Amino acid sequence: MFMTKNLLRNLFSKKATRMYPHVQRPDFEGFRGELHNNIEKCIFCKACALKCPSQCIKVDSKEGIWELDVMACVYCSICVETCPVKCLSMKAAFRKPFIGRQIQTLHGTPKAKKAAKDDAAAAEDGGSAPE
């Protein structure tokens, strides 16, 4: 009797789940979606990779490469909180479903090269400054 009652109630009540990805929940305050790296600001310090509980970030500080194993991310946001230059953020968007492993590879300018670039730009500015 209890089971029949439950069955009928579930049959005629509103569904508790959605047909993702066709139906998506609207975002809300504190929503943690896709991880985004503003690679131009990244200093390749590796703090995100060291703190990530699922070890899905790899950083090559010499070459300026930042890699994310997309499907291994558990959306905890620890990397975002850890990043010293705040170049990581979580977009209010769901990651699309994939079949197989997805590696996101971003290329930027490593810290040493960035510093050399800044020095060169400063020297150029100084050299062309009007007298």
Min dist CB 13 to ligand SF4, Å, is 34
Is residue 56 within the footprint of ligand SF4 (CB under 6 A)? yes
Min dist CB 69 to ligand SF4, Å, is 8
State residue 28 phi and psi, 5-degree precision: -145, 170
3-state helix/strand/coil string of 46-61 = CHHHHHCCCCCEEEEC
Min dist CB 6 to ligand SF4, Å, is 37
Is residue 70 within the footprint of ligand SF4 (CB under 6 A)? no
State residue 64 phi and psi, 5-degree precision: 75, 45
Min dist CB 94 to ligand SF4, Å, is 14
Is residue 64 within the footprint of ligand SF4 (CB under 6 A)? no
Q: Using alpha carbons, select from 72, 115, 116, 70 the residue that is nearest to residue 91.
A: 70
Structure tokens at 131: 């007298």
Name which of 53 and 100 has its Cβ closer to ligand SF4.
53
Is residue 71 within the footprint of ligand SF4 (CB under 6 A)? no
State residue 118 phi and psi, 5-degree precision: -60, -40
Cβ atoms of 59 and 65 within 8 Å: the answer is: yes
Is residue 110 within the footprint of ligand SF4 (CB under 6 A)? no
Q: Which of 77, 89, 104, 109 binds ligand SF4 (CB under 6 A)?
A: 77
